[in-house]
Structure 1
Amino acid sequence: MSELSDEFLKGILEAALLAAGRPLSLERMVEDLFEEHERPSKIRLRQMLDSLAEDYRDRAFALREVGSGYRIQVRSDYARWISRLWEEKPGRYSRALMETLALIAYRQPITRGEIEEVRGVAVSTQIIKTLQEREWVRVIGHRDVPGKPALYATTRQFLDYFDLTSLDELPTLAEIRDIESINAELDLGDPNGEMPVPKQVAMLPVESAADTPEQENTTTTDEPANDGDQPLTQTHNPHDPEDPQP
């Protein structure tokens, strides 16, 4: 059987990326889309993806590589209008949650106690729960100290949501002066806790209303009681499930 032409191969990749509903890795495209006798090399696949990206250069959408693979997504210039397709308004994340996420991103792996030491206040269980439910952070192990506290790190979903290919794309801490700058670099919103539309809204159905924060878990007000902070003298229960005991 003759080899698939470049244009037809590009069409297969384009159709798959539009239909998948999530980023696709090179490995998955090679293994799942093609029978063994017609399977292209990863090198050729990358060339076709680069060609697609060039085809989209002047279009309203782009081909972007993120942590989990490749996806077609709407350019950020149009996010303001595209986001109106969903009735749900983006939820609001507290400053405490944003700072916690930023610290995990930059200092991973990190324990809850280490986050509290940097921030100077206790981290509520709800903040950790929300970050895990969003699949932005996960437990990757436990520190070998008394109490065996959980070690938190970011996920591929974190990279996907914030339009990053790897953590290397984050600016170095030396380039950032304070936590406000970290929040801005991560696109985590203004000091009042508003979560903006991500840098680029992925093309339907890759990003949809399902990617909107759940109001019941993330909505906050300007009242201090709801920002997730407590003085360290009122820290969490030492038997909290987020800090497993031996």
Structure 2
Amino acid sequence: MSDDIKDHLQENHSENDSIELESSEASSDAPAVETAVEESSLETSPIDSEEDDLEKIRIIASDEELAGDTPDSNLVEPPPEAETEDVVTASREELKPAIEALLFVADEPLPFKQLSKVMGNVRDEDVKAAIDELVADYENRGSGLEIREIAGGWRISTRPQNHEFIRKYLKSRPSARLSLPALETLAVIAYKQPITIPEILEIRGVTSSSAIKTLLEKRLIVTKGRKETVGRPMLYGTSREFLIQFGMKDLTELPSIEDFEDLTQ
């Protein structure tokens, strides 16, 4: 990145009654029918008594089943259970390790609301307390990892002092790198946003259309409306993806121009 660009950037940051009556009258005749059946059964020969007893049991059982289907039945079926979503609620003891595991497998920073929902609607305050304890745990054991607030969420990240070793390990991944023009353009946008293409041209001294296209494809920058001036040119600024890729909580954590250049290598 040229010294002129560095110098320039360092300046800025809802029932029917008759039906019920008929049903009631019909049900009132039921005792007489049952009595006639019982008296008739008493006149039967002893030989058939066992079969009659079994038949009466079947009749009574049938009557009870039918009675259960009538509106006059005293049997009340419980209402069907409402369908609910599967909820997994974590206890206080499970909270910390569960959150740590979620942060480890997540592809992007997880905000309090999302962590609370996944944990079974745990209060945001309890989630925050668990994260604070995790942050302290990582710090106290001298881990090469840390839990940081990045772009409105929380993420497990590597510590800055280990970045040099990580860069050496990842140096075989050129596709992750930006060309010098794209890097210079991103730096100008990051430190001078919102900014228009003509303004970027004025600072860099060369056209930046190709670099702008690359940065948009990588989702490192987004449009921020139009500038109220002649021609109303499009304004550009850095995206949430930019904060995630560079491990920043917000734009107040932008490093110096030199350090920013190192982060992209």
Q: With structure 2 as the length reference, what TM-score do the two structures score?
A: 0.58
Map 1:39-118 onto structure 2 (within 5 A): 39-57=121-139, 58-82=142-166, 88-91=172-175, 92-118=177-203
Alignment RMSD: 2.5
Structure 1: runs of 5+ lacking an equivalent:
172-180, 197-246
Equivalence for 1:157:
241
1:90 and 1:195 in contact (8 A); partners too: no
Equivalence for 1:244:
none
Code of the residue aligned with 1:20 in structure 2: it is A
Of 205, 217, 220, the residue aligned with 1:133 is 217
2:108 and 2:244 in contact (8 A); partners too: no
Code of the residue aligned with 2:221 in structure 1: it is V
2:90 and 2:119 in contact (8 A); partners too: no
Code of the residue aligned with 1:54 in structure 2: it is A
| Deviation (angstroms), 1:114 | 1.0
Deviations 1:50-106 (A, max 9, x none): 101111111121111111411112324444555676684335533332221122112
Counterparts in 2 of 1:108 and 1:87: CA distance versus 1, 3 Å: closer
Give the structure with the higher percent helix: 2
Equivalence for 1:9:
95
Q: Does 1:170 align with 2:254?
A: yes
Equivalence for 1:202:
none
**Could you tell me how far apart the structure 2 residues matched to 1:87 and 1:119 are?**
28
Deviations 1:121-175 (A, max 9, x none): 222x22001111221101121223343321101111111122210112236xxxx
Of 34, 47, 54, the residue aligned with 2:119 is 34
Looking at CA atoms only, which structure, 1 or 2, has the larger radius of gyration?
2
1:137 and 1:153 in contact (8 A); partners too: yes
Counterparts in 2 of 1:89 and 1:34: CA distance versus 1, 3 Å: closer
* Structure having greater relative contact order (Cα 8 Å, sep ≥ 6): 1
**Could you tell me how far apart the structure 2 residues matched to 1:74 and 1:118 are?**
34
Structure 2: runs of 5+ lacking an equivalent:
1-88
**Could you tell me how far apart the structure 1 residues matched to 2:259 and 2:169 are?**
27
Deviations 1:162-218 (A, max 9, x none): 2210112236xxxxxxxxx52x132x23xxxx942xxxxxxxxxxxxxxxxxxxxxx
**Could you tell me how far apart the structure 1 residues matched to 2:158 and 2:252 are?**
24
**Could you tell me how far apart the structure 2 residues matched to 1:170 and 1:195 are?**
13
| Deviation (angstroms), 1:116 | 1.1
Secondary structure in 2 aligned to 1:157?
A: helix
Secondary structure in 2 aligned to 1:135?
A: coil
Code of the residue aligned with 2:202 in structure 1: it is E
**Could you tell me how far apart the structure 2 residues matched to 1:68 and 1:34 are?**
19
Deviations 1:29-70 (A, max 9, x none): 122x033xxx22222211110101111111121111111411
**Could you tell me how far apart the structure 2 residues matched to 1:160 and 1:28 are?**
17
**Could you tell me how far apart the structure 2 residues matched to 1:68 and 1:151 are?**
23
Of 8, 15, 19, the residue aligned with 2:105 is 19
**Could you tell me how far apart the structure 2 residues matched to 1:195 and 1:80 are?**
12
**Could you tell me how far apart the structure 2 residues matched to 1:74 and 1:64 are?**
10
Q: With structure 1 as the length reference, what TM-score do the two structures score?
A: 0.62
User: Which runs of structure 1 show a deviation greater than 6 angstroms over 4 or more consecutive aligned residues?
Assistant: none
